[in-house]
Amino acid sequence: MAEEDAGDVIWLRREHAGTGRPAQRSREEITAAAIAIADREGLDAVSMRRVAAELGTGAASLYRYLDTRDDLLDLMIDATGAEYVLAAPDGDWLADYPDPSSYLPQFFSCNGGNSNGFYCSPALDDEMAEASSLELTHPATATALWTSIDHQLTNDAAWVPTVNEREVDLVSKRLRNYEYNPVWGFLADQSWLG
């Protein structure tokens, strides 16, 4: 693969080297073997030599498919990321509300990066720390605690929204096929003048 630019990314390169013996493996097989090793032994155990041994071949043969271990890691990230099924956006802000553990402490903790010292409750800080620590081991308990924290913040009026956004589109009688999307607003590419 030496004829290729070393600065390009793995996804833009040909899968097999253009010279030499025909390829015996695919990137998918190599990636699957690397992921299996990482699952069993951890990411530090993943090396070109270890993956080659898993596939029953020599380490040098993998360089027909990849230039570096970083290429292999990129393929592993891509493969594992493809396993996630993301919900389609539906315009409902509630479904897109961030996880409270990454949101509430930033704005409402005494030392939160965005709180600016306007709100500080050491007792609530302790509850947020406890809820964060419970998320992996006791998710239902953590959710109940985050709900309680949210109610306390509401009761304390720690944040009072002062903006109620409303959009108004003024349109000509000549506009045809006007469509409004709650997420994107006016869909100009769907309309025409008549």
Distance between CA 84 and CA 82 in Å, rounded? 5
Q: 69 lies in a domain? A: yes
Q: What is the pLDDT of residues 25-48, one digit of tens each?
A: 888 899 999 999 999 999 999 999
110 and 63 both lie in a single domain = no
The residue assigned the tokens 């898993």 is 54
Percent of the chain residues past pLDDT 70, beyond the cut: 77
Domain shared by 70 and 104, yes or no: no
CATH of the domain at 74: 1.10.10.60
3-state class (DSSP) for residue 94: coil
User: Are both 14 and 73 inside the same structural domain?
Assistant: yes
53 contacts 45 by C-beta, under 8 angstroms: no
| Average predicted confidence (pLDDT) for the chain | 80
With respect to residue 67, please indicate whether it lies within any of the assigned structural domains.
Answer: yes
**Residue 68 and residue 110 in one domain:** no
The verdict on 53 and 114 lying in the same domain is: no
Sign of CA dihedral 101, 102, 107, 109: positive
- Residue with the larger pLDDT of the pair 123 and 10: 123
In a domain, 50, yes or no: yes
Which residue is it, tokens 């709900």? 147
Q: Does residue 28 lie within any of the structural domains?
A: yes
What would you measure as the largest C-alpha separation in the chain, in angstroms?
72
Residue 162 inside a domain? The answer is: no
pTM over 0.85: no
* Residues in CB range of 119: below 8 A, 6 or more apart: 108, 156, 158, 159
pLDDT band at 93 (very low <50, low <70, confident <90, very high): very low
Beta bridge partners of 185: 181
With respect to residue 86, please indicate whether it lies within any of the assigned structural domains.
no
Q: Alpha-carbon distance 147 to 152, whole Å? A: 9
Q: For 162-183, how does the pLDDT look when each residue is reduced to its tens digit (9 = 90+)?
A: 666 677 787 888 999 988 887 7
Same domain, yes or no: 23 and 77: yes
Of 81, 116, 131, at which residue does a domain stop? Answer: 81
Helix (H) / strand (E) element for 176: namely: strand 175-176
Give the range of the structural domain holding residue 32, as residue numbers without chain letter: 10-81
Q: Read off φ and ψ for residue 150, nearest 5 degrees.
A: -60, -40
The answer for 157, left when phi > 0, alpha when psi is -120 to 50, beta otherwise, is: left
Residue 34 lies in a domain: yes
Q: Specify if 121 maps to a domain.
A: yes
| Number of structural domains the chain divides into | 2
Kindly state whether residues 69 and 129 are assigned to the same domain: no
Q: Same structural domain for residues 58 and 18?
A: yes
Look-up: residue for tokens 């990129």?
74
For the record, the structure tokens of 183 come out as: 């997420």
Shared domain for 46 and 76, answered yes or no, is yes
Same domain, 77 and 106: no
- Mean pLDDT confidence for 105-118: 74
> Is 121 in contact with 159 (CB distance < 8 Å)?
no
